[in-house]
């Protein structure tokens, strides 16, 4: 079953801006799916159409097989959305916001209260349930929107840059929570600018640029396209002069950190041999965490070249 | 969603709306009570005795229904326009738009909130009026019906204003430049029989004139016009505005891009 099926979706704004030029996309049930793209690529427009906040110009959107036009009510009840911009009443407290949202989905007060306790608790907001929402920090506001999106326990959760502006600790705990609810069966579609986030969380990915899907595949498959990976080596002793390493592109970041680009054909053994011969001891090594970022930039560059041709 | 769930959604919107104006009662309930007190003091107690009787009633008794109706009209309009535009401005209208609520329930919820505030303010102003004059209700059913229909009609008008408003100025223009003149020229303070023929005809083009007179008929038993015509006109306007609101919501005018 496809949790989300988008077919030839087009959107032209009144200003004449063609935000979506006929994109098609499928997200399987249970998937953790990343929708990536630069600013203005069409990500939020896509999400806006799927969640009925933006009128489409043409195309079809199905949620678990239900057309959002002909089965609007049923389709909407399956989706939960946490948008990019803060969109709750600043005068209400988190508990009121969740109880009201539950009410809009026809959930009675008693059930809603139990769920509010659960999801505000999961997001570390239960203690702040009676505080005016405008007094919450940026990170907590984003968490509140995720709790609100979950109050009706949707089968498809759409998160539009949920961790933008969130500190590292909060971000990581949000990741753990999202992985957990995905394991429990919730399909998640995520847009993000943190490519490390997509790499860590998502199974499949689509890259959108200038209103077109330019890549739609699994994270594994896209990373396999990466010919060259960048590694960092932490050296036991600081080097006064850079080591001589034949056949690799490298440079010293500082006296004891060596950065080396290694292609799949080259492997890593030869590098270690050369370092050992020069008496250089490696304490630890790590690869650049945002490998996806390089691919992303390359794909956008290719798309730019193609559109110029 | 089933009927019970739709009712839960409707009740949620109504509770939210009523809580909103109740929470800020100093802005929503108190000002009309104060300004209407001034109307009663100035036009009723100070100037009224010099005017004498109108349609067989003391001037203060004659204007009391109009003043109550004026506060109901202003309050129901203001409640919906400010609440709906506020929801648009802060974007929390999106909470309802993503939820599986039919637009007719969203509209009905907002309108019920407007009716609730209109009736609450109307009640407070009626209590204020009792300090200045005796009020006896001639036709209670007509009074209740006119209050309900009028507050519904002006809640709908406020909703339309809220849909089209893009900035806070836009929600002040209509009340200042359209609503207030129509109310003042709608026979709140005088009987149109005092006007020359031409201005009597012009007054009959003003929908508020029918509401004030229908309400006055319910309270005092006197009216410048036929009560059935008044109800017909109010009903036509209400149905027309309700249909227009629903059409605009379904099209997503002012709320969807």
**pLDDT(A302) > 80:** no
Q: Is A86 on the interface with B (CB under 8 A)?
A: yes
Q: Are strands A257-263 and A249-254 parallel, antiparallel or unpaired?
A: antiparallel
> Which residue numbers of B have CB closer than 8 Å to A's CBs?
1-2, 4-6, 8-9, 11-13, 15-16, 20, 23, 87, 90-92, 94-102, 252, 256-257
Model confidence over A114-167: pLDDT tens digits? 999 999 998 889 999 999 999 998 888 999 999 999 999 999 999 998 887 777
Q: How far is B204 from chain A (nearest CA, A)?
A: 41
**Ranges in chain A annotated CATH 3.40.50.300:** 2-224
Q: Match 């001891």 to its residue by tokens.
A: A281
Minimal CA separation from A190 to chain B, in Å: 17
Which ranges of A58-167 would DSSP assign to H, the alpha helix? 72-77, 94-104, 109-122, 138-150
* Min Cα–Cα distance to chain A from B40, Å: 35
**Beta pairing partners, A257:** A234, A254
Residues of chain A with CATH 3.30.70.1560: 228-291
d(CA B146, CA B51): 28
* Token pair belonging to A190: 């995520």
Nearest to B78, CA basis, from B10, B21, B122: B21
- Which candidate from A52, A88, A108 shows the least CB-CB separation from B95? A88
Residue A68 CA to residue A181 CA, distance in Å, equals 24
Burial class (CB in 10 A: 0-12, 13-18, 19+), B168: exposed
Backbone angles phi, psi at A65, to 5 degrees: 85, -5
Q: How far is CA B254 from CA A11, A270, B159, B172, in A?
A: 17, 65, 11, 17
pLDDT score at A308: 53
> Within 13 Å, how many C-alpha atoms sit on residue A80's CB side?
23
Q: Which of A55, A77, A88 sits opposite B100 (nearest CB)?
A: A77
CATH architecture of the domain with residue range A228-291: 2-Layer Sandwich (3.30)
Domain ranges of chain B: 3-251
Q: Is the Cβ of A13 closer than 8 Å to some Cβ of chain B?
A: yes
Alpha-carbon distance A270 to A285, whole Å?
Answer: 15
Q: Do the strands A2-12 and A282-287 form a parallel or antiparallel pair, or are they unpaired?
A: unpaired
Q: Which residue of B has its CA nearest to A145?
A: B95
Digits of tens for pLDDT over chain B (257 positions)?
789 999 999 999 999 999 999 999 999 999 999 999 998 888 888 888 888 888 888 888 888 999 999 999 999 999 999 999 999 999 999 999 999 999 999 999 999 999 999 999 999 999 999 999 888 889 999 999 999 999 999 999 999 999 999 999 999 888 888 888 888 888 888 888 888 888 888 888 888 999 988 999 999 988 888 899 889 999 999 999 999 999 999 999 998 88
- A82-93: average pLDDT: 91
Q: Give dist(CA B61, CA B43) in Å, integer.
A: 11
**Contacting residues of B for A14, CB less than 8 Å apart:** 257
Using pLDDT thresholds of 50, 70 and 90, give the confidence band for residue A304.
low
Residue A309 has pLDDT above 60, yes or no: no
> Does A73 contact B12 at a Cβ distance shorter than 8 Å?
no
* The predicted structure's pLDDT at residue B6: 95
Q: Which of B23, B94, B99 sits opposite A83 (nearest CB)?
A: B94
Quote the CA–CA distance of B32 and B204 in Å, as a whole number: 27
Res. A199: pLDDT tops 90: no
Residue B175 DSSP class: I
Domain formed by A2-224, architecture: 3-Layer(aba) Sandwich (3.40)
Strands A32-36 and A187-191: parallel
3-class secondary-structure state, position B49: helix
Of A94, A92, A145, nearest to B83 by C-alpha is A92
Mean per-residue pLDDT over chain B, rounded: 92
Does the distance separating the beta carbons of B97 and A54 come in below 8 Å?
Answer: no
pLDDT at A37: 86
Q: Residue A13: which H helix or E strand, with range?
A: none
- Rounded to whole angstroms, how far apart are CA atoms B173 and A188? 45
User: By the 8 A CB rule, do B40 and B194 touch?
Assistant: no
């Amino acid at each position: 079953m496809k949790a989300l099926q988008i077919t030839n979706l087009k959107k032209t704004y009144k200003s004449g801006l063609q935000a979506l030029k006929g994109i098609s996309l499928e997200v399987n049930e249970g998937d953790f799916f990343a929708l990536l793209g630069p600013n203005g690529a069409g990500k939020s427009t896509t999400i806006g159409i799927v969640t009925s906040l933006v009128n489409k110009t043409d195309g079809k959107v199905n949620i678990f097989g239900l057309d959002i036009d002909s089965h609007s009510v049923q389709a909407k009840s399956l989706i939960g959305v946490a948008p990019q911009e803060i969109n709750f009443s600043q005068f209400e407290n988190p508990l009121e916001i969740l109880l009201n949202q539950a009410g809009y989905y026809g959930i009675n007060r008693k059930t809603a209260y139990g769920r509010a306790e659960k999801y505000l608790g999961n997001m570390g907001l239960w203690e702040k349930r009676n505080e005016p929402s405008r007094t919450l920090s940026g990170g907590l506001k984003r968490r509140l929107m995720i709790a609100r999106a979950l109050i009706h326990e949707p089968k498809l959760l759409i998160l539009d840059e949920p961790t933008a502006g969130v500190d590292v600790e909060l971000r990581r705990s949000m990741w753990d929570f999202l992985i957990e609810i995905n394991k429990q069966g919730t399909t998640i579609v995520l847009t993000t600018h943190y490519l490390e986030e997509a790499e860590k969380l998502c199974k499949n990915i689509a890259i959108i640029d200038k209103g077109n899907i330019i890549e739609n595949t699994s994270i594994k498959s896209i990373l396999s396209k990466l010919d060259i990976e960048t590694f960092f080596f932490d050296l036991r002793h600081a080097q006064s002069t850079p080591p001589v390493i034949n056949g690799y592109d490298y440079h010293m970041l500082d006296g004891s950190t060596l950065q080396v680009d290694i292609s799949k054909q080259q492997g890593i053994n030869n590098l270690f041999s050369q370092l050992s011969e020069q008496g250089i001891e490696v304490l630890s090594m790590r690869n650049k965490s945002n490998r996806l970022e390089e691919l992303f930039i390359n794909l956008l560059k290719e798309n730019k070249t193609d559109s110029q041709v | 969603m089933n009927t019970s769930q739709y009712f839960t959604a409707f009740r949620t919107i109504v509770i939210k709306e009523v809580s909103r104006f109740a929470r800020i009662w100093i802005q929503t309930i108190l000002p009309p009570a104060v300004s209407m007190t001034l109307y009663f003091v100035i036009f009723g107690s100070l100037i009224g005795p010099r005017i004498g009787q109108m349609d067989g009633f003391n001037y203060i008794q004659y204007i009391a229904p109009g003043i109550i109706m004026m506060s109901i009209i202003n309050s129901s309009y203001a409640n919906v326009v400010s609440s709906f535009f506020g929801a648009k401005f802060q974007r929390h209208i999106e909470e309802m738009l993503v939820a599986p609520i039919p637009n007719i329930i969203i509209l009905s919820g907002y309108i019920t909130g407007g009716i609730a505030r209109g009736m609450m303010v109307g009640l407070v102003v009626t209590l204020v009026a009792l300090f200045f004059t005796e009020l006896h209700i001639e036709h209670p059913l007509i009074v209740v019906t006119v209050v309900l229909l009028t507050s519904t009609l002006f809640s709908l008008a406020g909703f339309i204003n809220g849909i089209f408003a893009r900035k806070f100025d836009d929600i002040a223009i209509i009340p200042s430049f359209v609503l207030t003149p129509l109310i003042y020229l709608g026979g709140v303070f005088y009987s149109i029989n005092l006007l020359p023929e031409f201005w009597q005809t012009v007054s009959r083009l003003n929908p508020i004139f029918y509401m004030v007179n229908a309400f006055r008929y319910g309270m005092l038993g006197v009216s410048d016009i036929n009560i059935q015509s008044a109800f017909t006109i109010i009903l036509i306007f209400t149905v027309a505005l309700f249909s227009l609101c629903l059409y605009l919501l379904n099209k997503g005018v002012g709320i969807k891009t």
